């Protein structure tokens, strides 16, 4: 009887550990990377939006647009899905960002979240 209880405890503990490790691996594997997003941002977005996300005044003037700082409450209030759509399909005079890998949109959004003021 004692052996059976001990074996049941090992099975339950092993299952719990597997669930925790599986959940951790899944969250880590699918989590967007702000670091990777920063690299994409610096390569593809910095010219118009500035290194700090405040916007490039010369580009804004040339295109006759107002650029909200990416860390502003207005931009940060948008959902991750909305921000990703803006990056991938464009909005207003902003064209879609071309040449993005599948995870790049999520990574850029993760980086944009780090700019919150």
pTM: 0.73
Residue 75, SS3 per DSSP: helix
Verify that 41 and 16 share a domain, yes or no: no
Category of 13 on φ-ψ map: left (φ > 0), alpha (ψ -120 to 50) or beta: alpha
Distance CA 40, CA 116 (A): 18
Q: How many other C-beta atoms are found inside a 10 Å radius of the C-beta of residue 96?
A: 13
- For the stretch 55-113, pLDDT in tens is 999 999 999 999 999 999 999 999 999 999 999 999 999 999 999 998 999 999 999 99
Domain span at residue 2 reads: 1-31
Contact 37, 112 (CB under 8 A): yes
Q: How many domains does the chain have?
A: 2
CA atoms within 13 A on the CB side of 6: 3
Residue 25 in tokens: 């691996």
pLDDT at 31: 85
Residues 49 and 38 in one domain: yes
Q: How many angstroms from the chain centroid is the CA of residue 43?
A: 16
Same domain (yes/no): 16, 70: no
Judged against a pLDDT cut of 80, whether residue 1 lies above it is answered with no
Confidence of residue 117 (pLDDT cuts 50, 70, 90): confident
Q: Judge contact between 115 and 71, C-beta under 8 A.
A: yes
**Residue 22 shares a structural domain with residue 43:** no
Same domain, 43 and 20: no
């Amino acid at each position: 009887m004692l052996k059976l209880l001990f074996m049941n405890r090992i099975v339950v503990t092993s299952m719990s550990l597997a669930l925790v490790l599986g959940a951790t691996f899944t969250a880590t594997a699918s989590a967007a990377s702000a670091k990777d997003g920063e690299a994409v941002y610096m390569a593809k977005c910095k010219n118009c939006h500035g290194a700090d996300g405040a916007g490039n005044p010369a580009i804004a003037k040339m295109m006759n647009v107002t650029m909200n700082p990416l860390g502003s409450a207005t931009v940060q209030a948008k959902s991750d899905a909305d921000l990703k759509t803006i990056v991938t399909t464009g909005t207003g005079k902003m064209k879609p960002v071309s040449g993005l890998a599948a995870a790049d949109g999520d990574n850029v959004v993760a980086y944009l979240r780090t700019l919150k003021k």
